[in-house]
């Protein structure tokens, strides 16, 4: 089982980034996918998730209207489009999988990527 996250980097406030998480070693279409983030000194927090069917999405309040999650089952990949980035979005971003899950904040995410750093300068 492997997740390869990419797309992180340094961007100015107001800019955009698109994160990708390519999964292998699992039946991707049977898994809800989520994005989490962790800043230094803070606990890891849920950012967004998409159900295994793709029909439902969830977002934490601080990113609603700015971030968008999507999945491409043909490519075994989940994406996080981040627009209007703010310095407080600076964190390591992780993708995670939940078997037959809803992609909700309290889900049972059992598989995790290594993370990709996002830094937003003011």
Say whether pLDDT at 101 is over 90: yes
Q: CA-CA distance, 65 to 76, in Å (whole number)?
A: 25
Query: In the beta sheet, which residues pair with residue 120?
Result: 11
The whole-number average pLDDT for the span 93-101 is 96
Question: Dihedral, CA atoms, 89, 63, 94, 98, nearest 10 degrees?
Answer: 170
Say whether pLDDT at 1 is over 90: no
> Hey, how many other C-beta atoms are within 10 angstroms of the C-beta on 90?
18
- Name the 3-class secondary structure at 29: helix
The whole-number average pLDDT for the span 76-93 is 98
Rounded to the nearest integer, the mean pLDDT of the chain is 97
Span 45-80, pLDDT tens digits: 999 999 999 999 999 999 999 999 999 999 999 999
pLDDT at 61: 98
pLDDT at 78: 98
Q: CA-CA distance, 115 to 103, in Å (whole number)?
A: 18
Tell which residue, 105, 11, 114, has the closest CA to residue 61.
Answer: 105
* 103, two tokens: 């992609």
- Name the 3-class secondary structure at 1: coil
* 37, two tokens: 């983030």
- Residue 104: DSSP 8-state: -
Say whether pLDDT at 23 is over 90: yes
Say whether pLDDT at 11 is over 90: yes
């Amino acid at each position: 089982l492997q997740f390869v996250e990419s797309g992180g980097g340094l961007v100015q406030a107001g800019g955009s980034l698109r994160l990708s998480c390519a999964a292998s070693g699992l039946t991707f279409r049977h898994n809800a996918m989520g994005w989490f983030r962790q800043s230094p000194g803070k606990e890891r927090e849920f950012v967004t998730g998409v159900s295994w069917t793709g029909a439902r999405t969830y977002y934490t309040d601080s990113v609603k209207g700015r971030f968008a999650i999507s999945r491409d089952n043909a490519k075994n990949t989940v994406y996080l489009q981040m627009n209007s980035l703010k310095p407080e979005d600076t964190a390591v971003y992780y993708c995670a999988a939940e078997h037959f899950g809803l992609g909700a904040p309290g889900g049972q995410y059992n598989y995790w990527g290594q993370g990709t750093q996002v830094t937003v300068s003011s």
